[in-house]
């Protein structure tokens, strides 16, 4: 099982948070498993360009596998919003970036057997096997996350 954590700076986290508060008014609740406001897949926000580059490089170095981003999106959870248990297959590695946390720590992984409850922290990047079942319990406070999926880059020269 692959599970890795990284961090973004507080300054970068605050820039993303401010951007999300501006953008979220245009979002809808339309993802299959995530019952929260979402940017939709692969939005063209500048912070994603930075994250895609930096996270691709870091994960490729950690895994020793050439990776490339396949999908990315942002989620804004309001009170009561949640995510059904799901996986991100056929992707290889998935990442969640916590921009604004709900102190009740609603993210969990179903390890079958057992549940791993995640202690969320602003700026934390949690990367994991895309076939790891995870969900979000109903939020008690607003919460912002970014998600990024990666596939193996078969086009290595």
pLDDT digits (tens, 9 = 90+) for 85-142: 999 999 999 999 999 999 999 999 999 899 999 999 999 999 999 999 999 999 999 9
Q: What pLDDT score does 75 carry?
A: 97
Whether the per-residue pLDDT at 10 is higher than 90: the answer is yes
Strand, helix or coil at 14?
helix
Percent of the chain with pLDDT over 70: 98
Residue 157 lies in a domain: no
**Number of separate domains in the chain:** 1
Percent of the chain with pLDDT over 90: 90
User: Secondary structure of the chain: what % helix, strand, coil (to 5)?
Assistant: 20, 40, 40
| Domain CATH for 65 | 2.60.120.620
Query: Which domain does 143 fall in, by range?
Result: 3-152
Q: What pLDDT score does 85 carry?
A: 96
Q: What pLDDT score does 30 carry?
A: 72
Q: Quote the mean pLDDT of the chain.
A: 95
Q: What pLDDT score does 1 carry?
A: 80
Q: What pLDDT score does 157 carry?
A: 43
Distance (Å, whole) CA 154 – CA 65: 10
Task: Please give the C-alpha separations between residue 99 and each of 8, 44, 80, 115, in angstroms, as whole numbers.
Answer: 9, 18, 18, 23
Contact between residue 69 and residue 56 where contact means Cβ atoms under 8 Å apart: yes
Distance (Å, whole) CA 137 – CA 83: 7
Distance (Å, whole) CA 5 – CA 138: 24
Angle made by CA atoms 143, 147, 148, in degrees to the nearest 5 = 165
């Amino acid at each position: 099982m692959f599970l890795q954590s990284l961090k973004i700076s507080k300054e970068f986290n605050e820039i993303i948070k401010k951007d999300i508060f501006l953008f979220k008014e245009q979002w809808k609740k339309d993802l299959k498993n995530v019952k929260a406001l979402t940017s939709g897949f692969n939005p063209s926000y500048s912070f994603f360009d930075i994250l895609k580059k930096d996270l691709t490089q870091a994960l490729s170095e950690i895994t020793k596998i050439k990776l490339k981003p396949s999908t990315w999106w942002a989620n804004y959870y309001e009170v009561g919003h949640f995510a059904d248990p799901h996986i991100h297959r056929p992707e290889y590695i998935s990442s969640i970036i916590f921009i604004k946390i709900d102190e009740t720590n609603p993210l969990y992984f179903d390890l079958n057997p057992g549940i791993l409850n995640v202690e969320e922290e602003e700026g934390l990047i949690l990367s994991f096997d895309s076939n790891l079942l995870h969900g979000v319990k109903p939020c008690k406070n607003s919460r912002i996350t970014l998600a990024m999926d990666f596939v193996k880059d078969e086009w290595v020269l």
